[in-house]
Amino acid sequence: MYSILKSIRTTNFLLMLLMCLLIYGAVAMPLSPSFESLASTALFDWLKTAPLAASWWLYGSMVVVFLLVINTVVCSMESVLKKRKGRQWLLTISPQVIHAGFCFIMLAHLVSSYGSFHKHAVLYEGYGVTLASGVEVYLKKINSRVESGHVTDMEAEIFYKYPDGSISQDAISPNNPSFMDGTGLYLKKVTLKPVPAALVLFSYDPGAPWALVGGVCALSVGHLHACNP
């Protein structure tokens, strides 16, 4: 079993199987209405209500990805043990650092599949919504610049009201979100007629820190090679 798990042939077979499942999914998803809510729902919450006939390939893909992670860990451990000696040890094990980054990114997807959400809401000036933590967020004012009939710049002033009654203010604009208790508020669109309103995306992704760790692993390898051509 150990010989199978550390084999590069196992890696190639799993990757080929995964590609086949994902290609099937790319064709099947547009044909099934059940996938319409997947973009705004955590994967495991969606799978609870999804018909097996439409989602079986996702279960298969998760099993294959899990085996790929095990294969990656075993192969990396085997390689690191063989490369324990040498003056440029960090440079030598750089492929294994990238493998670790891959594992962290897969962990990020797993965590996000349990508790993430992405919801849109239309907020009117003076009105707001309550976050899961109990903090209330209100739209205070919309600022926009219109040129030739098109909105060229937009900003929404918001304020948070905490359970203890205290208040803090912030502003959101494209590429400048606001974060509260891990939930990001992204300004997507504003309108001034018939009344000022803003379309805001509320996004919570608990796997983001792990994805950052995986990205740092990959970037560190690139920096290491740049310093040691």
pLDDT tens digits for range 45-102? 888 888 888 899 999 999 999 999 998 888 888 777 776 665 566 666 777 778 888 8
Percent of the chain exceeding pLDDT 70 equals: 89
Domain that holds residue 48: 2-116+208-227
Q: Give the pLDDT confidence score for residue 7 in this predicted structure.
A: 85
Asked if pLDDT for residue 223 goes beyond 80, the answer is no
Q: Give the pLDDT confidence score for residue 30 in this predicted structure.
A: 87
Mean pLDDT for all residues in the chain? 83
Pair 111, 122 in one domain:
no
Q: In this predicted model, what pLDDT tens digit does every residue of 105-128 receive, in sequence order?
A: 888 888 888 878 788 889 998 888
Asked if pLDDT for residue 229 goes beyond 60, the answer is no
Pair 112, 136 in one domain:
no
Q: Give the pLDDT confidence score for residue 83 in this predicted structure.
A: 67
How many domains does the chain contain in total? 2
Q: Give the pLDDT confidence score for residue 54 in this predicted structure.
A: 87
Q: Which residue has the higher pLDDT, 69 or 224?
A: 69
As a 3-state breakdown, the chain gives helix, strand, coil percent values, each rounded to 5, of 50, 30, 20
The three-point CA angle 120-125-131 to 5° equals 45
Q: What are phi and psi of 108, to 5 degrees?
A: -60, -45
Asked if pLDDT for residue 227 goes beyond 60, the answer is no
Pair 170, 96 in one domain:
no
Q: How far apart are CA 124 and CA 128, in angstroms?
A: 7
Q: In this predicted model, what pLDDT tens digit does every residue of 167-187 receive, in sequence order?
A: 999 999 888 999 988 889 999
Is the peptide bond prior to 194 cis by the omega test (within 30 degrees of 0)?
yes
Pair 122, 191 in one domain:
yes
Pair 187, 176 in one domain:
yes
Note if the pTM is more than 0.75: no
What band does 25 get if pLDDT is binned at 50, 70 and 90? very high
Pair 57, 127 in one domain:
no
Pair 123, 112 in one domain:
no
- Write the CB contacts of 17 (distance below 8 Å, at least 6 apart in sequence): 64
